[in-house]
Structure 1
């Protein structure tokens, strides 16, 4: 944290503890004039001086660093070798998102014709291929969010990504099975998907909103849309609206992963 924010923070913490400047300097071995200049933002103290002052105020230095990262939209330090690997995986994830976006258009046609025309518009093999490819590329996007959750120290995002991945596997296994079994109606498949993705989507949307201090307005927009999309799925009757929201949501997910990848790249 830079001046004058650092000085204001120290002043705030000192007053919260009820210390005068004289009482504080007695505990951290610096003179009153130095403390005054720090609090007034006139000098930028060395890290060990800041740690000494914060220790006297019972405030964790790492918490101050976390506040700095949130204020400047930066990540916690990542080792160079690890950052290179993470950046590659995140790049793969957002690129997979582009393929997922295109495949989702074809999926819309396949679901429509299967439900309302009782036919496979791209043939049975084409139908299965589209669903299998969507499962793979959607899975890669979710893997990207699992990595992003780890990078952003967002445990809820990691949990949400894993839960959505399990729902994804179950849903598409059920969906593909419906192609070969007349006992499984497409309506039932879509209902199961709406409930599964709706429930996990609520958690996922909340996790995205939690990252807005680092990612900014993009996280806010994506988080809100994820929650609206999830609500539409859970309300069932509004599920058709969810299909309309899906495309902008995928675009924002791609941009989110690209943003995190860019922040990681900045550390290379």
Structure 2
């Protein structure tokens, strides 16, 4: 599986290529799925371009995406603490959603993570446990009674060094161990995105790529779209997969 991460916390300052409006997000995601992405992660945005958990913005964005996608493609959203710093308010937002995503990411190192995850599970929304390197997220997750109930783990390597990101990824995977038997999706950020994606391929792990994680192709050129990143990502992942663990 290769998940497309369409926009993340990026804004118009990152260039017109980053989709921000529901219509732009839907079009970009549809192109990425046509290029081979099999799962979707997006950050719905307010009219001013900020990440939002508003039920209205979530509904408009999810409806726009699903109208453009083949039915089986799952669509997920963020619940990052920056969208609503108060944990109780964040969980209340989840309970107020009128249109539900298939899954939502919860960063386990953030205050209120278990509260938000519990609200998602109550509503039948799959939880992606976001475990960031360099935080206590993995340790907190491994102790959590909710861990066996999550849809999958997002092992996120925050080390952006092109030479060191792979080592950081291996350390995070070692810390996770069996991850309570949940599937692990491995991904990196910025200059670390491509080395980590190749490692995911060699290990046979699901990966993700998109404008949230990097604006650049493996050769350093600026990406023109999420679809271009997915095409390159599938090529890199498949090639690394053929070479096997290493």
Q: Same fold (TM over 0.5)?
A: no
Instruction: Identify the structure with the greater helix proportion.
Output: 1
TM-score range, shorter chain: under 0.3
Which structure has the larger Rg? 1
TM-score (norm 2): 0.24
